[in-house]
Amino acid sequence: MGRFRTKNYSSGIAACIEDLKPSGGRSMVYELLDRLFIAMAPVPADSFLITASTKAGIDSLERSARGMPADADDCLMHHVSDYILRRFGLTGETLHISAACASSAIAIARGASLIELGRADSVLVCCYDIVTEFVFSGFCALQAMSPVPCMPFDRGRKGMNIGEGAASLLLMSPERAGREGRASLGALAGWAVSNDAFHITAPDMNGSGLILAIRKALKKSGLPEDAVSAICAHGTGTVYNDSMELTAFRAVFGKRSVPVFSVKGAIGHTMGAAGGIEAALCLKGLAAGIIPPTAGFKEPDAGADGLVSSEPVIRDCDYMLSTNSGFGGVNAAIVIGKGD
């Protein structure tokens, strides 16, 4: 990892976009978002904008502290959101969510709730986070980082690797999507957020908060538990997170073997962007009839045998469950259905 020196840290691994760099005094966040926007479909000007990130353009604060050209205001989420508003000429309301590593999953749930309540019929969710020394050093100080590529749900896992990325999802009411002739890539069938209020960084190992979020999301969807064909887990590769998730899945789904996968062994933990990126991958998996593999998984941890696979599984799925958890005990669960 060549973005900064890692000699004195417990890990030297992060999933960085190789040629992502700041331009002038701007944060790398803007370059990341510009690449994301290239492939985006037109966004209605009256869309409600929800942004999600853990640290926004924190790299600008690092450069400012080192006497380098930088705009420290990039660290403020509304500064980045204003850029998105200008880029798309949006005139609707704006909401910013920073809820640790469940940020973008909560943003999606919030957007769906706004549409359900009739407060909006078009919501643009933009999530992003970047790898910086500030964030990297923080996770190393917490002893959460793996010195080798992370191995979600593997018995020999040693921790997580952070990554960077961004995603955008345009949520619409069925009525407006129909009027505008927009194809449905998928549907949010259910969503819920909870907090186990257990510890500032560690999850409650009995999975109480995540169990509550999953059950509430399923209840909201009106679907039985056996409608879920696969689970896109948070799967960070840390000892406590992975064990907690497996406990929660067993509590909800019992003896039924629902395939579980994590993408973080392939792309790293993208922090506040994780839920949005993983929701997009679930949509792709549903459309293609593929349950993605879990990179780095070799020897199953207790409870993972028969659930997690290092190989893709070809299976026609109607619904996937996506879960995310974060510091402070926050948990989010989203039930995603196949599109048209």
Task: Note whether 191 and 169 are same-domain residues.
Answer: no
Contacts 24+ apart (CB under 8 A), 108-113: 108/169, 108/171, 108/188, 108/191, 108/275, 108/276, 108/279, 108/334, 109/191, 109/192, 109/193, 109/332, 109/334, 110/50, 111/48, 111/50, 111/169, 111/171, 112/171, 112/188, 112/191, 113/191
Task: Note whether 113 and 193 are same-domain residues.
Answer: no
Max intra-chain CA distance, the chain? 58
Q: Which residue of the set 140, 234, 282, 317 is catalytic?
A: 234
Q: Which pLDDT score is estimated for 1?
A: 59
Annotated catalytic, 269?
yes
Give the strand pairing for 290-291 and 48-52: unpaired
Task: Note whether 168 and 91 are same-domain residues.
Answer: yes
Q: Tell whether the torsion through CA atoms of 198, 112, 216 and 294 is positive or negative.
A: negative
pLDDT tens, residue by residue, 217-270:
999 999 999 999 999 999 999 999 999 999 999 999 998 999 999 999 999 999
Task: Note whether 155 and 243 are same-domain residues.
Answer: no
pLDDT tens, residue by residue, 97-114:
999 999 999 999 999 999
Mean pLDDT, residues 160-184 taken together: 95
Would you state the structure tokens that stand for residue 35, as one six-digit string?
């690449």
Confidence of residue 198 (pLDDT cuts 50, 70, 90): confident
- Give the span between the Cα atoms of 239 and 248, in whole angstroms: 15
Query: Which residues have C-beta within 8 Å of that of residue 262, sequence separation ≥ 6?
Result: 152, 153, 232, 233, 234, 235, 236, 237, 294, 308
Q: Which residue of the set 75, 232, 269, 282 is catalytic?
A: 269
Mean pLDDT, residues 162-166 taken together: 97
Task: Note whether 253 and 284 are same-domain residues.
Answer: yes
Confidence of residue 129 (pLDDT cuts 50, 70, 90): very high
Q: Which pLDDT score is estimated for 276?
A: 98
Annotated catalytic, 101?
yes
Task: Note whether 118 and 204 are same-domain residues.
Answer: no
- Please indicate, yes or no, if residue 6 is contained in any of the structural domains: no
Would you state the structure tokens that stand for residue 98, as one six-digit string?
């920073």
Looking at residue 81, its amino acid is: S
- Please indicate, yes or no, if residue 105 is contained in any of the structural domains: yes
For tokens 């997170």, the residue is 241
Q: Which pLDDT score is estimated for 123?
A: 98
Q: Which pLDDT score is estimated for 99?
A: 95
Annotated catalytic, 234?
yes
Q: Tell whether the torsion through CA atoms of 276, 107, 32 and 169 is positive or negative.
A: positive
Q: What is the CATH number of the domain that holds 316?
A: 3.40.47.10
Mean pLDDT, residues 59-85 taken together: 88
Q: How many folded domains does the chain comprise?
A: 2
Looking at 179, 194, 220, the residue that finishes a domain is 179
- Please indicate, yes or no, if residue 8 is contained in any of the structural domains: no
Q: Which pLDDT score is estimated for 23?
A: 79
Task: Note whether 209 and 118 are same-domain residues.
Answer: no
Q: Which pLDDT score is estimated for 24?
A: 81
Task: Note whether 65 and 171 are same-domain residues.
Answer: yes
- Nearest CA to 266 out of 241, 285, 293 is that of 293
Q: Which pLDDT score is estimated for 199?
A: 84
- Please indicate, yes or no, if residue 5 is contained in any of the structural domains: no
Q: Which residue of the set 101, 126, 127, 150 is catalytic?
A: 101
Mean pLDDT, residues 59-80 taken together: 87
CB atoms < 10 A from the CB of 14, how many?
22
Task: Note whether 175 and 192 are same-domain residues.
Answer: no
Task: Note whether 136 and 208 are same-domain residues.
Answer: no
- Please indicate, yes or no, if residue 113 is contained in any of the structural domains: yes
